[in-house]
Amino acid sequence: MQKKYALFLKVLKYFYNAGVLNEIILIGSWCMYFYKDYFSFKKFIPSIRTKDIDFLVPLPIKSKKKIDIAGLLKDEGFLVTFNKRGYMRLEHPEIMIEFLVPERGRGTDKPYPLPHLGVNAQALRFLDFLVKNTIVIELEDLRIRVPHPAAFGLHKLIISKRRKTEEKSLKEMREALDVLNALIEQGESSKIKATFDDMPISWRKKALNVLKESDNKDIINILI
């Protein structure tokens, strides 16, 4: 894993030097690498097994600067690949980078072009929720935007049932519970509740249903 972490930090530095790091949000499991610094009260040890790294690009696009992300990472051994639906990936033997945007309207399964970055992105539901709830974590002179742990955990609960396999669903649920329970231990139950109350009712029901299945009464009692 150390090779993955080292390469990941190198990618962030490339993005920082190109002026793009402040325009994107790191989401997904790799956020947990940075939450270990957020949870100062205890030794929060993230267990990251996936090589997939997701960056969320908020809409509408505000930047007028054009950057060739594939070109930035070419010398590090990243190759541009496309899946069956045309979504672009930057692949390396250690990690794989993808870009996402919030889904709007009825949604589409077509790639969303991001010409200012030289890539395309997949549009997914529930991502505007993460855009609205971010924090900045500093590491090695870098300022990385990530979802607030409360938003991260609640979002993971919602999407866990949308995963195609039971293994992936359980992984999402486990990460959600790890982060939410860490927030409770740190005395931030009120932040979980406030973030939950800001969600649409249908989303709240989804999150509560997952928690009831896992019989996690501590978190349920905070939310209801």
Q: What is the model's pLDDT at position 95?
A: 96
Last residue in a domain, options 119, 147, 175: 147
Residue indicated by tokens 């990941």: 8
Q: Tell me: do 135 and 203 sit in the same domain.
A: no
* One domain, residues 101 and 194: no
Would the pLDDT of 173 be above 80? yes
> Does residue 30 or residue 47 have the better pLDDT?
30
Least confident of 1-10, 18-27, 123-132, 194-203: 1-10
Residues 20-33 pLDDT 10s: 999 999 999 999 88
Same domain, 169 and 219: yes
- For strands 134-139 and 52-56, give the pairing: unpaired
Residues 121 and 211 grouped into a single domain: no
| Residue 143 shares a structural domain with residue 153 | no
Domain end among 124, 147, 170: 147
105 & 209 share domain: no
Q: Are residues 123 and 187 in the same domain?
A: no
- Could you write out the three-class secondary structure of 77-116? CCEEEECCCCCEEEECCCCEEEEEEECCCCCCCCCEEECC
The string of pLDDT tens digits covering residues 50-97 is 899 999 999 988 777 899 999 999 999 999 999 999 999 999 999 999
What average pLDDT does range 174-190 have in this prediction?
A: 93
One domain for residues 94 and 18: yes
The count of structural domains within the chain is 2
User: What's the pLDDT score for residue 36?
Assistant: 84
Residues with Cβ within 8 Å of 121's Cβ and at least 6 positions away in sequence, in order, are: 57, 87, 88, 98, 99, 100, 101, 111, 112, 114
Residue of 214, 215, 172, 224 lying closest to 193 (CA atoms): 224
Mean pLDDT in residue range 163-180: 86
Structural domain span for residue 171: 149-224
| Strand extents, DSSP E, 36-194 | 52-56, 79-82, 88-91, 96-102, 112-114, 119-124, 134-139, 142-147
Q: pLDDT category, 188, cuts 50, 70, 90?
A: very high
Domain boundary among the residues 147, 170, 198 is at: 147
